[in-house]
Amino acid sequence: MSSCLKIFSYCDELVDEFEKVISCPKKEKSSVYYTGVDLGTAYVVLAVLDENKKPVAGAYRRASVVKDGMVVDYMGAIKIVRELKKEIEEKLDTDLVYAAAALPPGTTSLDSGAIKHVVQGAGFELTALLDEPTAANAVLKISDGAIVDVGGGTTGISILKDSKVIYVADEPTGGTHFSLVIAGAYKMPFEEADTYKRDEKNHKELTPVIKPVVDKVSSIINTHIKNHDVSEVYLVGGTCCFNNIEEMIENYIKIPTIKPKNPLFVTPLGIALNCTQEIME
């Protein structure tokens, strides 16, 4: 596990720096800025890096413009990305031009056009469009194993061998389903259940409530890794912020399962790291 800790040391340092610049942007001028746009089921996140690919600013907002990995509120998505873009531009006193984006693995033919048009509609030049777990690996730097991105609506899986992606998959089940079972168990509105879930002090109490959903996520992982030689599983995505989810999944799949300190911002930072100045056709 020492090698994993070393990898996560880089990841956690990058995320720590990003969390700082969200509230206190670095206003030193850069010759170019690279933006990662992460359209999640629960959050829309913009991560901005400078010419040296170091975090300088960021912003995020809770949103429901994406469902099960697909854009369901096209105009709402454009509006949020445009507003976050403007917010960061005002803080940095610059124009953000270049952006990369990502989508759940295996959905390129279904939704890549929508993602592309959202980013462009918000005023960016789109330079890259990749799947979410692969984007996350720009931060994790995993050479072998499975990266599992548990988002609000779906669980995405990328299996890597010798630093190359050899298999991708995505299935519905994520944080939204956590909120649904909590709402049912506590007889509370969905939005209230969603907020209750995000409070870390409630996680111990909620563990037995959300366990069936975690077991479903674990089952999805098992299904897609069973024909591959996977010795470790790496968790990212906002849903993986739930305390001890890695232990619950590991107990089910019987494979070492670990996550970085803050899984929410790994993917948007990885998207930004893949941003260039070469515009997509």
Domains and CATH numbers, the chain: 3-136+265-274 (3.30.420.40), 142-258 (3.30.420.40)
3-class secondary structure, 276: coil
The rounded distance, in Å, linking the Cα atoms of 73 and 64 is 8
CA distance 134 to 103: 10
Lowest mean pLDDT among 66-70, 80-84, 99-103, 255-259: 66-70
Contact yes or no for 133/170 (Cβ under 8 A) = no
Start-end of H helices in the chain: 2-23, 74-92, 108-121, 132-140, 175-186, 190-198, 203-225, 245-253, 266-273
Range in 15-19, 103-107, 247-251 the model is least confident about: 103-107
pTM: 0.87
How much is the pLDDT for 154? 86
Contact 181, 187 (CB under 8 A): no
Euclidean distance between CA atoms 252 and 239, whole angstroms: 17
Single-letter amino acid, residue 180: L
pLDDT (0 to 100) of residue 107? 59
Residue 65 is predicted with a pLDDT of 74
d(C-alpha 215, C-alpha 260), whole Å: 21
Cα distance between residue 116 and residue 204, in whole Å = 39
Tens of pLDDT, residues 256-277: 999 998 898 999 999 999 999 8
Residue 160 has pLDDT above 50, yes or no: yes
Closest C-alpha to 225, from 171, 152, 178, 174: 171
| Mean of pLDDT over the chain | 90
pLDDT category, 2, cuts 50, 70, 90?
Answer: very low
